Amino acid sequence: MINRNDPCWCGSGKKYKRCHFFEDAASGKKNGSTAPRMKEFPPKTMKEMQGMQRAGVFNGELIDFIRPYIKAGISTEEINTFIHRYTIDHGHIPACLGYHGYPKSVCTSINNVVCHGIPSKDALLHDGDIVNIDCTTIVNGYFADSSETFMIGSVSAEARHLVMVSAEALIRGIDAVKPGLPLAAIAEAIEPFVLSQGCSVVHQYTGHGIGKKFHESFSVYHHIDRECDNVVLRPGMTFTIEPMINLGGWPVTLDENDGWTVRTADGSLSSQFEHTILVTADGSETLTRTPSQIAAGVRLLVDGTAFV
Ligand code: MF3
Ligand code: CO
Ligand code: CO
């Protein structure tokens, strides 16, 4: 077996990952004993794909529903209550509530909180904050998972830069998805871009396969890492892409008191956008686009900036 960072078998002198790796992985051809052994995951059936599409539509509606409430002065507890009620009123299930003991129906991650921030009546949004609202819903047994980071009032130039970089990181990740390519194509599209913008990609938390389970099958790395090298993208796979991007370094800490809240180790700001996607015959479909994104013909719309 040849690793991605080894010299290519063809003798070009380039690293394998910069030379024949993608071609080998896509064709499944064995060049000597060097072609990577790719892991395959069963595609969703037609019925399952429709279930995922419906779940994605609702989760998008939920994000648009909560959008106007994300303003200075609201508490994350109130946001949680709105999301919980809207979900239940539509006959669906908030997936976060009770997931491995998680106590609320949404994750609300403010400023230096990377992910899994727990809504609280003591946590008010203030002018200048950035906050990620991460919603996951079970619709007729199928999960959809998406999030956006919101800028409250006027935020610093560096906070705005971070939010825009994290939005573009998600779009670049989605654009990299093509059947036949290794899953690693996503990380290859995200990490060099993020580093070039002076930000970093969190390593400890990843995207994930999703379907009739919240976190299923495989991890979707956003940073370049050997472990995800051998998963191949095939039509019918559904997973999330959700790069957590820090203004400082990538290391994070887990709050030992609540067992959930993840913060940047250096206290820097963190931002994230997430969509659930379906791999198609020629690329991917973004299942969790919101009605406002669909109306604008984009996959993300951040404070007037369109990410097509
Ligand atoms: N929605 C998160 C994700 O993107 C997971 C939240 S798990 C919870 O994977 F238990 F914290 F809600
Ligand atoms: Co997710
Ligand atoms: Co999520």
pLDDT, residue 31, reads: 56
Give the contacts of 289 (CB within 8 A, at least 6 positions apart).
Answer: 56, 60, 275, 299
* CA-proximal residue: ligand 1, atom 2 (nearest): 134
Cα of 70 from ligand 1 centre, angstroms: 19
pLDDT, residue 14, reads: 86
> What phi and psi values does residue 167 have, to the nearest 5 degrees?
-65, -45
Residues in the ligand 1 pocket, defined by CB under 6 Å: 96, 99-100, 102, 107, 116, 134, 136, 145, 240, 242, 274
pLDDT, residue 227, reads: 66
Question: Could you identify the atom of ligand 1 that is nearest to the CA of residue 274?
Answer: 4
* CA-proximal residue: ligand 1, atom 9 (nearest): 207
CATH superfamily of 43-296: Creatinase/methionine aminopeptidase superfamily (3.90.230.10)
pLDDT, residue 37, reads: 74
Containing 271, the helix (H) or strand (E) segment is strand 270-272
Residue (of 186, 183, 181) closest to 170 by Cα position: 186
Cα of 116 from ligand 1 centre, angstroms: 6
DSSP category for residue 268: -
Containing 109, the helix (H) or strand (E) segment is strand 107-110
Domains in the chain: boundaries: 1-37, 43-296
Cα of 107 from ligand 1 centre, angstroms: 7
Q: Is 220 helix (H, G, I), strand (E, B) or coil?
A: strand
At position 143, the amino acid (one-letter code) is F
* CA-proximal residue: ligand 1, atom 11 (nearest): 116
* CA-proximal residue: ligand 1, atom 8 (nearest): 96
Distances (CA, A) of 177 to 131, 132, 173, 186, 228: 27, 24, 7, 7, 14
Distances (CA, A) of 156 to 146, 147, 162, 279: 25, 21, 10, 37
Give the contacts of 47 (CB within 8 A, at least 6 positions apart).
Answer: none
**Angstrom distance (rounded) from CA 280 to CA 285:** 7
Task: Please say whether the dihedral angle defined by the alpha carbons of residues 273, 279, 280 and 281, taken in this order, is positive or negative.
Answer: positive
pLDDT, residue 21, reads: 77
Q: Is 205 helix (H, G, I), strand (E, B) or coil?
A: coil
pLDDT, residue 6, reads: 84
Residue (of 133, 84, 104) closest to 260 by Cα position: 104
pTM of the model: 0.92
Regions of the chain where pLDDT drops below 70: 1, 25-36, 227-229
166 touches 243 (CB < 8 A): yes
pLDDT, residue 22, reads: 72
